[in-house]
Amino acid sequence: AAAVAAQRRHASSTPPLGFIGLGKIGSGMVINLIKGGESLIVFDPSSAAAKAVEGEAAKAVASIAEVAHDARVVFSALPDDNVLQAVSSELLPKLAARGDRPIHVSCSTVSPSISRALSEAHAEKEVGFVSAPVFARPDGMRRGEATFPVSGPDWAKETVVPLLKKTALGVHDFGEDAGAANVVKLGGNFLIAAAIQSMAEASALAESYDVDREKFISLMSSTIFDCLIYKGYGHRVAARDHHPYPDAHFALDLGSKDVSLVHSAAAQARCPMPVASLLRDRFVASQNSGRGKLDWSAVALKASEEAGSKQVAEAITRLENGRSS
């Protein structure tokens, strides 16, 4: 009770934070920031999303302008480069008008090039732009298990990092170039997608020799690959369980967007990434097979299909019918 009272005092004595974009990740961050004693001004084009987090410490407003009016530090968690560009066009002039060195914290998975461009545009108007894309699924975010790479001007990070720590297991500083944190995030998502594809191929090989694919993956993910990604996605791949469980999935459509971002960021830097090229094609092909709404681990189904697996057709029918067993 004393701690809660202290939080209330803190919340009432410090200026509110702004938050734009209340999807699964954004709303999870808002809830964690409130738990951390912050109060917020929130906005989402969907009033249902805004209402879901509204409460004593989170005031929903009807426009980006109102967020910028009330908050000096504004977070955004948005689906892609285009939406971030559109939101920034509206947000930046309003923040600049405050004249108190405001800060925009971008938590979206976007290209390093848009972060670099926005960083310059913000700096010209004496607004800080901090890039802080997040590694977390909605359920992990709620448990405070998120990891944030962060980059941007040091003066702005001084304010932002302690706030991010209220909604993360770890915050990792990658310097002043705002694009750096995005490169880290894209590199990480690429590693996850590559692990999914590798496990898909290895499981298909096992199955083609009548070796139990679940037993094989479970041995790997409990010994030399004993980590979150191989355990979680390993189970999904081996069992062909690609259902979009609420709060514990990442849609293949979004995964495809991320892998395409990796591919174009690599092309822009003239960095050949043969596995990334292969992944991009497989994600697009999986979307064309109507799997965009499944968990992104469903990219693994192609390996089974190509191997002529007798079991995969049944699994696909089950997934299409939305049954989980």
Binding site for a copy of itself (CB under 8 A): 112, 135, 147, 149, 169-170, 172, 174-175, 177, 179-180, 183-184, 186-188, 190-192, 194-195, 197-199, 201-206, 208-212, 215-216, 219-220, 223-230, 262, 265-266, 269-276, 278, 303, 306-308
Collect all residues with Cβ–Cβ distance below 8 Å to 94 and sequence separation of at least 6: 64, 65, 68, 69
Taking the C-alpha atoms of residue 169 and residue 92, their distance in angstroms, rounded to an integer, is 30
Q: Minimal distance in Å, beta carbon 132 to a copy of itself? A: 14
DSSP 38: -
Q: Minimal distance in Å, beta carbon 226 to a copy of itself? A: 5
Nearer to a copy of itself, 163 or 195 (CB): 195
Phi, psi of 60 (to 5 degrees): -85, 135
Nearer to a copy of itself, 91 or 262 (CB): 262
Q: Distance from first CA to last CA of the chain, Å, rounded?
A: 45
Nearer to a copy of itself, 230 or 283 (CB): 230
Nearer to a copy of itself, 84 or 183 (CB): 183
Environment class of 53 (CB within 10 Å of its CB; exposed 0-12, middle 13-18, buried 19+): buried
Residue 185 annotated to the active site? yes
> Which one of 185, 215, 302, 310 is the catalytic residue?
185
Q: Minimal distance in Å, beta carbon 310 to a copy of itself? A: 13
Q: Which long-range contacts (CB under 8 A, 24 or more apart) does 6-13 make?
A: 6/37, 7/36, 7/37, 8/37, 10/37, 10/38, 11/37, 11/38, 11/39, 11/57, 12/39
Q: Minimal distance in Å, beta carbon 289 to a copy of itself? A: 16
Catalytic residues: 185
